[in-house]
Chains A and B, each alone.
Chain A
Amino acid sequence: MINSLFLISHSGDIFLEKHWKSVISRSVCDYFLEAKEKAGDPENVAPVLQTPHHYLISIYRGKLFFLSVTQTEVPPLFVIEFLHRVADTFQDYFGDCSEVVIKENTVTVYELLEEMLDNGFPLATESNVLKEMIRPPTILRSVVNTLTGGSNVGGTLPTGQLSNVPWRRAGVKYTNNEAYFDVIEEIDAILDKSGTTVFAEIQGVVEACVKLTGMPDLTLSFMNPRLLDDVSFHPCVRFKRWESERVLSFIPPDGNFRLMSYHVSSQNLVAIPVYVKQNISFLETGSCGRLDITIGPKQTMGKSVENLTVTIPMPKSVLSVNLTATQGTYTFDLTTKVVLWDVGKLNPQKLPNLRGSISIQTGSPKPEENPSINIGLQIQQLAISGLKVSRLDMYGEKYKPFKGVKYVTKAGKFQVRT
């Protein structure tokens, strides 16, 4: 199982280590640092590395490497999932998961890691269980603690940890009982030069924010559950009910959680909300090129497209760009060579256009690669797959909660080839 964890900064500085079994010298990280050096871009470091005596399994999040060391054969996915959970927990506790924040909260971090793993076996990874044992730092609490000598470690047995519903603690109380669900869909798509869809799918999630007193038992049903043939649920969802009746029946965790994620891949169901007319070309001679991009609405179901952005990573030999945008503003990052065009809201009457010239380092040959155009966008009050919640019922408690459902569609990995 997991022996040790090292936190390594973007620049290769090992700033925290934790061992759950015998101590492993941090020199083991040298293998990783070597691989990192070789990979260049930190995102390209292979997640599983083998050294003569250890296996190094790492993730890269928030400009930090979480590197775990194991000595025996373990399922790498188990380790990777766990590392992401650690990062999620830091995010949850400190509002951010960066080197600075972790250094500021070393003791809490250490206490958390100690609770999350025992002898390399995961112990408490549910955020509500952890929060009962180690309270998240808040300004108010640290002031109170210094005044009263209180501590941020709870003295009770985490009630949730052994009950049939380990994700929910007992005795939850709210004055306003509310349950909100956000259906968020991301479109992953690849469009080719001519605008035809090469590949498209929808990654959807239902995020919930449930603040209900007691032990409520909820049932969420959809207008068109047939859409969902590939789903992953939070452990609280009763799988049998889903199999037989296609409803989500569950006792919710307290607070924010991801109820379910799903995946719609059948091509005809994936609507592409915008089209992109583009032309990026480099001249054979004269070290310059031209760029012309126009974006227009395609299948938006009558909703407006907002927060439209266009990102184009230019070839390395590009020196500068001289462009004019009819709407929004654009920037060109000289080090990463990325053109970022922030369009804003898409106006169907007056289509936004970005055009102008690109200049290339004199003497360097015509770039070999074709830059790809990455689109970001958001459509409020629409789930592009057509998924709709029909009703939410609550059993087990007497009060009437406030209920709400929100839909939003975003572009995920949405790219247009040139």
Chain B
Amino acid sequence: MTDSKYFTTTKKGEIFELKAELNSDKKEKKKEAVKKVIASMTVGKDVSALFPDVVNCMQTDNLELKKLVYLYLMNYAKSQPDMAIMAVNTFVKDCEDPNPLIRALAVRTMGCIRVDKITEYLCEPLRKCLKDEDPYVRKTAAVCVAKLHDINAQLVEDQGFLDTLKDLISDSNPMVVANAVAALSEIAESHPNSNLLDLNPQTINKLLTALNECTEWGQIFILDCLANYTPRDDRESQSICERVTPRLSHANSAVVLSAVKVLMKFMEMLPKDLDYYGTLLKKLAPPLVTLLSAEPELQYVALRNINLIVQRRPEILKHEMKVFFVKYNDPIYVKLEKLDIMIRLASQANIAQVLAELKEYATEVDVDFVRKAVRAIGRCAIKVEQSAERCVSTLLDLIQTKVNYVVQEAIVVIKDIFRKYPNKYESVIATLCENLDSLDEPEARAAMIWIVGEYAERIDNADELLESFLEGFHDESTQVQLQLLTAIVKLFLKKPTETQELVQQVLSLATQDSDNPDLRDRGYIYWRLLSTDPVAAKEVVLAEKPLISEETDLIEPTLLEELICHIGTLASVYHKPPSAFVEGSRGVQHKRLPGSAGSGESVESPDTGSAAGVSDAPPAVIPSQGDLLGDLLNLDLTPPATTGPPPPATSGMQLGAMDLLGGGLDSLVRFRRPVWLPAMKGKGLEISGTFARRAGVIQMEMTLTNKAMSVMTDFAIQFNRNSFGLAPAGPLQVLTPLSPNQSIEVTLPLNTVGPVMKMDPLNNLQVAVKNNIDVFYFSCQYPISMLFVEDGKMERQVFLATWKDISNDNEAQFQIKDCHLNAASNKLQGSNIFTIAKRTVDGQDMLYQSTKLSNGIWVLAELRVQTGNPTFTVSLAQQTVWSNHCSDCAANY
């Protein structure tokens, strides 16, 4: 007897018949009917019309019947919300049942009914269940909070369920802890800044205790949660590592990989000379190898992660090359991944083995795999110099097989080998030329043409070869056309006498008969060059080329660091940061590895530690008023990270302006930031920005916009020497490549310990920004107020004495209109200009003020205000001759 009997239908109409059976008096008949309904539901038939009849069966002592009805409810409650309310009473009653299984079942089902109207009724029973005496009920209730949060987040917060959930992290039962962590992690994903999982050494300790006792799935949740913690020091880091290592021997591969993640991250903090560090490295290899003996799907995910681990810490697996050897019956996705890792692990020590394997793979069935294997041989040659010769001879052997796609791949990689080791293997060119006719892929044709052009002087019939390509010029792809153009020009420069006709022909083909702007432009450039100055042309076209770099497909170090923090997640499979693909992840924080505690590691960028520290500090949601005013004084109108409370209702020109601008500030920000580097000058890179002083740190806030067509990477910044020794306090933090039409906000902290040189104007700053395209220079001016330090308040007595000491030469006087005294005082204090004293003399308000520059120079000021006349008279005094400039800046206020 099987369930397939539930699928039999009768002529009368299934629904009608089921309805009758559901309302039968006989228990057994009822149950059979519900089973039939469920069976229809599972295969996607619509049985929602039976809702009232099924719900009527809910009040029963028969647990199976109850479960079946619950199954039905969960499926159809959404489409029948009004009916679903009928079920509420039963749920509330079941939550009081003496049997914990029924209580848990009720609370579990409740959460799955995704109807807003019902959720309110469920809060009370849920609250009770969260405090239930039975841990089975508590752990079920913990998950229910996450379900409820998904339906109505506000309700969960208002009801205080989040706090109850946090309390459950300290529960005595490990399964309850694990489920609470799981629920909180899921909720936290939609609330990136909520700080829900507030990890401190105490909670960490509790999690570690629960880790040993909970189920495998619970261990995964706990380990993933642990990975977000940043230990205080290397000792704490070590003790966590010690307690996590036993998980590496778990049978569940997800547990193993999550443990690897925690260890990889916390290892960063351990000093490298520590014995334990070496032990840990050794312990990591076997579990990773074991992952490769699991099912192919698991292998695939493991391999993608190993790829990251190998790039970050090649020492872990350097002796395990053989486990990555490809087996005949591995699925293709596993084969390709293994191949990639083999190349990463290739070194002088194992290159012979690797090459023998790769050669073997080149005779496999799967074309994609064979191609990649051939390419891999080329990569080995470029990576391990000692092996280059052997690689080239292997490639030649493969060319002899005459298998079409093998030959083409081989030619493409040989081109790269030539570029890496010029003037070494050119003897093989003859063999390559023999295969000219079999090349039908653009990449291979282009590579071959490049080789012919580059070595035209050694190939006797280079002109004939190139001419043969020229016949079908218009049918070639752009790649080949461009390459052919260049190659013929090279040939002409090398053998001008016999190839004049050929070069004429290609130039006219490129410039007159082609629609492709790139081709046309390149054609014209060559043409002009050749016609105006053949010597210059020679220097340009035949210039010595830089060698190609060793490994071109390495993941960028900052991205790699972030991905290491995401081991075991989808990000690690895609090798992209989660922000690049997780939906609605506006708030996903970039994770960074913690800085190493030991002696400075060269691998790390110097600011890693501090960056991690900063991200740990609770984000300041409301900026201090000073900052806000400081910004206003700069006439910058940049609102801090979030819009703070409106400034106190003091009048004043700037504040008025702000009121006028009202809520439109955000949209104005970008517009108001002066453009420092226009896209025209920056080859598509546009930089606009401002300066600000926040919490005592001078910051340069820039918007980088990529207006070019290609991706920009490798950003760096430098300052020229300047008046106040401003210099970047860290590298430019552009983590991800900047794709076309994307802009990114960067904040660069500055310090004032750089070399000093007086500039004119004084606050001029010359900046150089570099990216993968070029280096760009621009200059900008920073407000002097940025340099006013926080401790610029002078003692009264000192002030008086100093004021007198300063000679009149260093004093300046001027007038400002339309200001109010108190407002001015407040505002000035906001930008670190401090009021020392206030007097009223002869109907004039006098304000004495001091400020100190970052280089230790004091500026003193006297403000005189005629009562009733909103005009200021400012006298400035300074110990040095820079006062003129300072008065300028004061005038800005």
**Residues on A facing B (Cβ under 8 Å):** 1, 15-23, 26, 39, 41, 43-44, 46-48, 50, 53, 55, 58-60, 71-78, 80-82, 84, 103-111, 114, 118-119, 121-122, 125-126, 137, 139, 142-143, 146, 149, 151-158, 161-162, 164, 166, 188, 190, 192, 198-199, 201, 203, 229-235, 239-240, 242-243, 258, 260-261, 263, 265, 267, 313, 315, 368-370, 372, 374, 413, 415, 417
Contacts and interface: CB of A to CB of B under 8 A. Distances in A.
A157 B35 contact: no
Contacts of B297: 47, 58-60, 80
Contacts of A161: 136, 175
Contact of B573 (A76, A125, A126, A374): A76
Q: Is the interface of B mostly helix, strand, loop or mixed?
A: helix
Contact of A151 (B63, B224, B293, B322): B63
26 contacts: A16-B42, A16-B43, A20-B112, A47-B297, A47-B300, A53-B583, A73-B189, A75-B570, A105-B3, A106-B4, A106-B6, A106-B39, A118-B108, A149-B28, A151-B65, A157-B99, A161-B136, A198-B322, A235-B216, A235-B250, A239-B249, A265-B323, A313-B328, A368-B401, A374-B329, A415-B328
B657 interface: no
Given A19-B75, A78-B568, 19 more contacts: A1-B182, A41-B331, A43-B296, A48-B573, A71-B583, A75-B568, A76-B569, A76-B573, A77-B254, A77-B568, A103-B3, A104-B3, A105-B2, A107-B39, A198-B322, A230-B287, A233-B249, A234-B251, A415-B329
Given A75-B257, A107-B3, A413 B186 contact: no
Contacts of B378: none
Contacts of A370: 363
B111 interface: yes
Contacts of B99: 155, 157
Contacts of B27: 149
Interface string B460-504: 000000000000000000000000000000000000000000000
Contact of B582 (A73, A107, A192, A198): A73
Contacts of B403: 368
Contacts of B1: 139, 142-143, 146
Given A48-B300, A81-B298, A75 B332 contact: no
A415 B246 CA distance: 34
B574 interface: yes
Interface string B341-367: 000000000000000110010011100
A46 B335 CA distance: 12
A125 B217 contact: yes
Given A81-B298, A413-B327, A74 B71 contact: no
B63 A74 contact: no
B215 A122 contact: yes
A153 B67 contact: yes
Given A21-B150, A151-B31, A121 B143 contact: yes
A96 to B, nearest CB: 12
A160 B182 CA distance: 21
Nearest to B578: A73
A315 B182 CA distance: 51
Nearest to A145: B1
A235 B214 CA distance: 9
Interface string B130-141: 000011100010
Nearest to A197: B322
A119 B67 contact: no
Interface in B292-339: 293, 295-298, 300-302, 320, 322-323, 325, 327-329, 331-333
A309 B570 CA distance: 40
B383 interface: no
B289 A230 contact: yes
A200 to B, nearest CB: 9
A162 B150 contact: no
B360 A110 contact: no
Nearest to A105: B3
A198 B301 CA distance: 25
Nearest to B79: A23
Contacts, number: 255
Nearest to B326: A190
B253 A81 contact: yes
B889 to A, nearest CB: 49
Nearest to A141: B1
B573 A369 contact: no
A108 B150 CA distance: 28
A239 B108 CA distance: 34
B251 A258 contact: yes
B333 A47 contact: yes
Contacts of B356: 192, 198
Interface string B752-794: 0000000000000000000000000000000000000000000
Contacts of A81: 252-254, 298
Contacts of A114: 67, 71
B570 A74 contact: yes
Contacts of B289: 230, 263, 265
A107 B570 contact: no
Contacts of B68: 107, 111
Contacts of B571: 73
Nearest to B406: A368
B523 interface: no
A190 B583 CA distance: 44
A77 B298 contact: yes
Nearest to A77: B254
A44 B301 contact: no
A111 B67 contact: yes
B569 A104 contact: no
Contacts of A104: 2-4
B173 interface: yes
Interface string B96-116: 000111000000100110100
A413 B332 contact: no
A150 B676 CA distance: 81
B572 to A, nearest CB: 8
A369 B365 contact: yes
Contact of A230 (B290, B363, B585): B290
Contact of A261 (B39, B215, B251): B251
A121 B112 CA distance: 13
A81 B254 CA distance: 7
B300 A190 contact: no
B868 interface: no
B328 A166 contact: no
A233 B39 contact: no
Nearest to B175: A162
Interface in B42-83: 42-44, 62-65, 67-68, 71, 75, 78
A199 B325 contact: yes
